[in-house]
Chains A and B, each alone.
Chain A
């Protein structure tokens, strides 16, 4: 006999157990509606994964979209608390939201993937306030050096290349104050969280002489890069991966001075009407099955990003992981400028500085 009776029984039990668990889960949240505030076409409204969640929990999901992080905070301040259950703030906005008690502390013991989250996000102070954790890191990306390998040889390893006089008129630079100040700080060897702003201003004004375009959307970058108007610049890892997957030549480099990293997180709103369901959602959205489904079979127009859950990254098929440039990002152990934890007053100064550099 190939199979003993015991092993047959065991496998039957193994098959039925998840079904029982699923049935219990489904019963637990039947009839409840989870309200999620998030970006449109960004994971939370992916049809394939939503179907999985609804089958697992029996709950239905209502989507609320915000169009900027400030919009999200405003939404919570003006009647969102007590109505919205779970929200997707950027790492930079977790502290402001926690400080204004718009979101509630999270019991990390209830987050199943907690131990698999990348330590550089899980242990970061920017998700903690008053000793408590307020958000679960979800996805990440880098805004790093990108070059056209046909035009820029040898492949650079340093941010210097953007400041090189030979790069005049070839640089596309992301039009964002935090990224700009942090990138200049990395180039200068300053602390990216609190750089000397006089030096940063001078560096950015120098950089501007080489810049052909301050880009603010994927479309801006693509038009200039694919027509050869620019050959280098700083770029989102996700966009670099998409360009490569579509057959365009682009080298994405994590320079020796360090790279700028961002993260998006899940947080539970204060007075969330369905807090338990919100935990169930966060557990689902940070799980390996979720990421595998979302990244390999995304719904139309879904924008993808690299999971913070290391198990989920390992489980990704190679092509999908390459498209996101997940490998280099996770393997990277160099210096990091995490886009988080900048005090509002400092951020205001950075924004003013960047506006003045652009207007000069």
Chain B
């Protein structure tokens, strides 16, 4: 008996080994190198020092930038969820064949190189482009104006890029909501709004949170989009890190900033993950109210 338990445990360890090794090699070791670099401003051969950290704390600049980066990514993630909700719902209610076709249509931009996407957005948002001309005709933009080279252009790009991911994640949650459940609720007098609150929201909440986390993390580390579209005041923490690693040739300070980005991102992700039980509580409270009816 004992040997069977032992064998089961051994099998478990063996099965975990490849993934564990991969994690160690691809995550833990680079992370350790990052930490080491952050203490080695004079290069690998020189004694360790706190100089790079001193530089970080000498000015509020980089903390402001980290804050701005998190706010930008957070706003973009929320917008992505808001825009992705309806298509994901429609998708989850479609007949299987139509669903496959629609999924394919959604996946196409996701399979396109993001540089191509950025340059297409460049054309779409440029001065004199259809979008800006329409806005001008509506009196919403000055002639020759464009949101290119502003923070707004970066947000538009991040949303556009990540929308397919959000739709997929929301769809996978919503797909599990049984149509008969909604029909039953309807036959018992639940309004559309009540069905949304008591059935759809609680059941889709976990995928909503997952979707937010999945799109937020890359958005927080974005640097190509702000570099091309964001203009002089649109730079994010990722741009400064990229500059430190390449042109400024200061991997130590770059590592310090990377760790700052990592901590800030982890904090937001923890917050989002904490949202899940809160969402659950909120929706179950709604359910309590309705129960007697």
Contacts and interface: CB of A to CB of B under 8 A. Distances in A.
Contacts of B249: 70, 351
Contacts of A176: 247
Interface in A213-233: 213-214, 216, 220, 223-224, 227-229
B149 A212 contact: yes
A48 to B, nearest CB: 33
Given A355-B240, A358-B240, A227 B128 contact: yes
A220 B59 CA distance: 30
Of the four ranges (under 10, 10 to 19, 20 to 34, 35 or more), the interface on chain A belongs to 20 to 34
Interface string B118-131: 00001000111000
B244 A355 contact: yes
A208 B232 contact: yes
A220 B228 contact: yes
A358 B146 CA distance: 22
Given A229-B148, A360-B61, A213 B248 contact: no
B148 to A, nearest CB: 6
B157 to A, nearest CB: 15
A359 interface: yes
B240 A227 contact: no
B62 A359 contact: yes
A351 B126 CA distance: 31
B243 interface: yes
Contacts of B87: none
B155 to A, nearest CB: 18
Given A351-B248, A356-B61, A359-B65, A227 B126 contact: yes
Contacts of A212: 149, 231-232
Contacts, number: 56
B235 interface: yes
B234 to A, nearest CB: 10
Given A227-B126, A355-B248, A356-B61, A213 B232 contact: yes
Q: Is the interface of B mostly helix, strand, loop or mixed?
A: loop
Contact of A355 (B122, B126, B127, B243): B243
A211 B232 contact: yes
B127 A228 contact: yes
B144 interface: yes
B258 to A, nearest CB: 15
Given A211-B232, A355-B248, A223 B61 contact: no
B146 to A, nearest CB: 7
Given A223-B122, A229-B126, A229-B127, A359 B235 contact: yes
Contact of B231 (A213, A223, A228): A213
A94 B89 CA distance: 63
Interface in A315-360: 348, 351-352, 355-356, 358-360
A188 B239 CA distance: 28
Contacts of B239: 358
Contacts of A228: 127-128, 144
A358 B128 CA distance: 28
A173 B146 CA distance: 19
Contacts of B149: 212-213, 224, 229
Nearest to B240: A359
Interface string B141-154: 00010101100000
Contacts of B59: 356
A56 B122 CA distance: 49
A211 B230 CA distance: 12
A359 B228 contact: no
A218 B244 CA distance: 22
Q: Which of A208, A211, A359 has the most CB of B within 10 A?
A: A359
B268 to A, nearest CB: 20
B156 to A, nearest CB: 16
A352 B250 CA distance: 10
Interface string A111-135: 0000000000000000000000000
Interface string B230-262: 011101000110011011111000000000000
Contacts of A213: 149, 231-232
Contacts of B231: 211-213
17 contacts: A68-B246, A208-B232, A212-B231, A212-B232, A213-B149, A213-B232, A216-B227, A224-B149, A227-B127, A228-B127, A228-B144, A229-B149, A351-B249, A355-B243, A358-B239, A359-B61, A359-B65
Given A213-B149, A229-B126, 17 more contacts: A68-B246, A176-B247, A208-B232, A211-B231, A213-B231, A216-B227, A220-B228, A223-B122, A229-B127, A351-B249, A352-B55, A355-B243, A356-B59, A356-B61, A358-B239, A358-B243, A360-B61
